[in-house]
Amino acid sequence: MEAGVIEDRIKHRHLTCFEEVARQKSIGKAAMSLAISQPAVSKTIRELEEILGVELFDRTHRSVELTAYGEVFLRYASASIAALRLGVESVDAAIKSGRPVLKVGAVSSAAALLLPEAVARFLRYGASAVVRVVPGDNAALLSRARMGELDLALVRMSSFGNMVGLTFEHLHHERLVFVARTDHPLAAEPGSVAGHLVDYPVVLPPPDAVTHDAAERLLIKLGLGHVVDRVETISPGFARALLASSDVVWLAPYGEVAGDVASGRLVELTVETSEALSAVGLARRVDSEPSPSASMLMAILREVAGEVRASTSR
Which residues, in sequence order, are CB contacts of 75 under 8 Å at separation 6+? Answer: 165, 287
pLDDT in tens, the chain (314 residues): 444 456 668 888 898 899 899 888 899 898 888 889 999 999 999 999 999 899 999 887 677 889 989 888 888 787 777 767 766 665 565 555 557 889 999 998 877 888 999 999 999 887 778 899 998 888 889 999 988 899 999 998 888 777 888 999 999 888 899 999 999 999 988 889 998 998 999 999 998 888 888 899 999 998 887 766 899 998 889 999 999 999 999 999 998 898 899 999 999 999 999 888 888 999 999 888 888 889 999 999 999 999 988 876 65
Contact 164, 143 (CB under 8 A): no
Helix H or strand E encompassing 198 = none
The pTM of this model reads 0.62
Q: What is the number of other CB atoms lying within 10 angstroms of the CB of residue 222? A: 19
